[in-house]
Amino acid sequence: MRTEHAAVDNAQLEEANDKTAEEHTAAVASKNNNNNDEVEAPAPKSGSVADQEVPAGLEYVGGFCGALFADYRRRSAFLKSDWTTDAMSMKTLSGALFLCWATLTSTIALGAHIRDVTGGVIGINEYLMMNSAAGMLHAIFGCQPLLVLRPTGPITLLFEKQLEAAQQLNVPFWPFFAWTGIFVGLFMFLITAFELSRFIKYLTPFTENIFAAFIGTVYMKDGIQGMILIWSRGTEDVAAQKLLTINLTIGCTLLALWLNNMKSSKWLTYGVRGVLTDYALMIALLICIGVAAVLNRHFFPISFIETSSTGFNTTEARSWVTDLAAIDAAGVAYAFVAAFPVVIFFYLDQNISSLMCQKPAMKVGKGSYYHSSFFCMAVFNFIGPLFGLPFVTGSLPHSPQFVEAMAETDKDHKVTGVKENRVAPFVGYLLIGVPLLVPSILEVVPEAAVSGALIYVGLKALLSTQLWERILLLATDPQLYPADKSYTKVPVKSMHCFTLIQIVCVMVCWLFNIFLGLFFPLFVISLVPIRYKLLPCIFSQEHLNMLLSEDAAEEEEQSFDGE
């Protein structure tokens, strides 16, 4: 029986594992007498909001900050292994390098973008500082150190909208931004204190797939936009130069994807393929850097990252500490209102990132934690804007990708466990801060490599969703549909209709993002009533369970067998 209070020690974690085993046995015993080789559909559920299963880590605890304290009590049992035994693995090195390269390139790209669109109000310096400092602190004090946090693309958009709002309201921007951060931090703390993150359980795979696909396309758009920017520079007489630079971007992306899929190939040995997969992005970027250096020296100029203002200084000539008194009461009231859409977005983005990197299929073995991570974000987003630093939140698709980078697999490519520790994320975030100390490091990185890394991260996120699998089936012979997927057991028209609905939702996400930036989170929230009120009018509950199952039964069997 699931207790009302969260587990607080190892014994309770073992009890939770026993419960999982009992549920697995009961599920197997309840199967029909059909052929054992068939993939059986999940048992029909009522589908009502009240009947949703509570994911591990989101059980109601009660009391002011009760769930927050419970998170830290549970994680304290692993404090020693986080820094010692579980860190003694090559996965720690490969994971740290993946985190560094994947996050650094994205942060640089967003920092350069916000510097250009704001006319130098904020830029790469502040983005790297906040990413590195907040990340290292979270690696030390967070209960789920594998959650990747950083200033994301939507955060960059929110910053742009806040700057526009301050200009329209005729209030000084930095005090307005600082007060917004204060209210954001307070609201996020209240969400933590009263365990409101537990309601994230209502965001089913229907919403998760849409959100993950949208975020993946955001990164792809940023990378493609970088290629277009390279092409727009110069004159027609350097068209060959620009074309080759764009080819360098595409080559970097394709090489990283090819190396990432090496584990499933027949080339080389299993161990070598594993190394190439673990270091796929780093190898692709290093090759891109080398090729760019040769082209720049012997053929024609290549565009490298501009570092003239990089270092421990502000992008704009201003004081590091914001004067909170430099704004009137009306401006503070505006900041109070502006904090609401920001908090709604953080509630969704942070919790969905936590949910997706702690799913049972990820095989994290030290428990799931939500409230403590949200509390850390509250502290960072309270303090950061006081110094003119951007907001941070859990990052998609980096968070589940980082967990995958720390995962160990067998020769059948099935995850057997995750090397969960604090050393890998700490080192990764520390490396992200190195360019602040030695800006010249970035001078060897071509802009094509940054764009290629963005496209790679976005593609990897999109291709990993069930939505993408079903998109491919739109043009696939039904006789060739995979037999081991639950969603192929529903009528073809129903499956395609469900897929098209999700595609439309992703497109609406983009429309909100373009025309109603600050209110984009409101549409994501509206996906909950769409799931529970609209979809049951179109599909039977049995078909919905099969379409949304993500082959949960198979994942439970693999998890059970691996224990």
* pLDDT for 317: 87
Angle at 351 between CA 552 and CA 207, to 5 degrees: 55
Please state, in angstroms and rounded to a whole number, the distance separating the CA atoms of residues 480 and 466: 17
Output the pTM of the full model.
Answer: 0.79
Please state, in angstroms and rounded to a whole number, the distance separating the CA atoms of residues 214 and 519: 15
* pLDDT for 473: 92
* pLDDT for 51: 54
Please state, in angstroms and rounded to a whole number, the distance separating the CA atoms of residues 527 and 524: 5
* pLDDT for 366: 93
E-assigned strands of 206-245? none
Please state, in angstroms and rounded to a whole number, the distance separating the CA atoms of residues 101 and 299: 27
Question: Tens-digit pLDDT profile for the chain (563 aa)?
Answer: 334 444 444 444 444 444 444 444 444 344 333 333 443 444 444 455 555 677 778 889 999 999 999 999 999 999 999 999 999 988 999 899 889 988 887 888 788 878 878 888 998 899 999 999 999 999 999 999 999 999 987 788 789 889 988 999 999 999 999 999 999 999 999 999 999 999 888 888 888 899 889 888 888 888 888 788 777 765 555 666 677 777 888 888 888 888 888 877 777 777 777 778 777 888 888 898 898 888 888 877 788 887 766 778 898 889 999 999 999 999 999 999 999 989 988 998 899 889 888 988 888 989 899 999 999 999 999 999 999 999 999 987 788 889 988 988 877 778 888 999 999 999 999 999 999 988 888 888 888 888 888 888 888 888 888 999 999 999 899 888 988 888 888 999 999 999 999 999 999 988 887 787 667 778 888 888 999 899 999 999 899 989 987 654 344 334 333 33
Which string of DSSP letters, residue by residue, matches 358-370? SSGGGT--S---S
Q: List the domain boundaries for the chain.
A: 66-464, 465-549
Please state, in angstroms and rounded to a whole number, the distance separating the CA atoms of residues 543 and 269: 42
Q: Which distant-in-sequence residues (6+ apart) come within 8 Å of 301 by Cβ?
A: 241
Please state, in angstroms and rounded to a whole number, the distance separating the CA atoms of residues 434 and 427: 11
Please state, in angstroms and rounded to a whole number, the distance separating the CA atoms of residues 393 and 345: 9
What φ, ψ does residue 416 adopt, rounded to 5°? -105, -15
Could you tell me the CA-to-CA distances from 240 to 123, 243, 244, 300 in Å, in that order? Answer: 31, 5, 6, 10
Please state, in angstroms and rounded to a whole number, the distance separating the CA atoms of residues 450 and 107: 10
Query: CB 25: neighbour CB atoms within 10 A?
Result: 11
Strands 393-394 and 407-409: unpaired
Query: CB 180: neighbour CB atoms within 10 A?
Result: 26
